[in-house]
Amino acid sequence: MRVLLSGSGGFVGRHLHRALDERGYEITCVELADGDDALDFFRTNDTRFDLAIHAAAIVGGRASIDGSPLGVGTNLALDAWYMRWLVRTGTPRAVYFSSSAAYPVALQQPGDVRRLYEEDINLQYMEEPDASYGWAKLTGEKLATYAEAEGCRILIPRPFSGYGEDQDEAYPFPAFIRRARERQDPFEIWGDGSSTRDWIHIDDLVGATLALLDADVTGPVNLGWGRATSFDELARIVCTAAGYRPQLKHRTDAPQGVHHRVSDPSRMLNHFVPTVTLEEGVRRAMAV
């Protein structure tokens, strides 16, 4: 199988590359850090692949999402050209990585934790997502429907809080791991600590994506555990793994994002069951 993988050097991309390589696929990588701009590729290249996986995006954690909205908004152009390229080349099968940021922020407010279902996004009546990053992903999903109408079958994973041992420290999980390794006391947490996220290890994120492709699934699929973990809880888990109990220091002046973001993973579970618990993921990260 001939596969195009954009963003092959990113967190998701490099793990996908390893998994695809283990399957013996012929992989063409497009990675900005290697001098290959995915935007230029989609504008000018006419090669037809059996499968295209688009994992290239400008993001960088909460600070980037809130602090550089125009930079993150560049994803709109990147995703639009990806869809045009799929149609132009007649690529029959594709993956467009969306995000849990595409869900309406109105469904992620303080109060009871509400699991998010794929149907909570209505592309005919789009509601306010999370910042310009959410708008880019939501728009990308809308554009995918037009590419599908031209004959390309597109899987749209919506990962929740993906994490792993080699993730950039701009994201909460590796930042927490570093603080625990350094046995920082007090232990700093952005926000009031009560916000929840649904963590999924990169091995499960990649495994789910490939399982869904193998099952020929199309459309949006949540990737998560459906487990709501507050940032205070995450801090306690990583500090327990490090063998100490610090005071928690809450930075209410720092970017916090939405309050609750937890998936209903039922659609994914029809094809893939995650195996790496958050506690196991913390153990692996602490052992690196």
- First-to-last alpha carbon distance for the chain, in angstroms, is 34
Which distant-in-sequence residues (6+ apart) come within 8 Å of 135 by Cβ?
73, 76, 129
The whole-number pLDDT of residue 172 equals: 93
Which residues does the chain have with pLDDT short of 50?
Answer: 61-65, 67
The whole-number pLDDT of residue 63 equals: 47
Handedness of CA 107, 109, 112, 116 (dihedral sign): positive
Q: Which of 34, 39, 59, 48 is nearest to 4 (CA)?
A: 48
Handedness of CA 69, 225, 12, 10 (dihedral sign): positive
Structure tokens at 110: 């303080």
d(CA 176, CA 199): 13
Angle at 223 between CA 221 and CA 224, to 5 degrees: 140
Structure tokens at 182: 């350094």
Q: What is the pTM of this model?
A: 0.94
pLDDT tens-digit readout, 126-144: 999 998 889 889 999 999 9
Cβ contact 108:261 at 8 Å: yes
Q: Where do runs of H (alpha helix) occur along 23-158?
A: 38-44, 61-67, 69-73, 75-89, 131-149
3-state secondary structure of 262: strand
d(CA 218, CA 250): 41
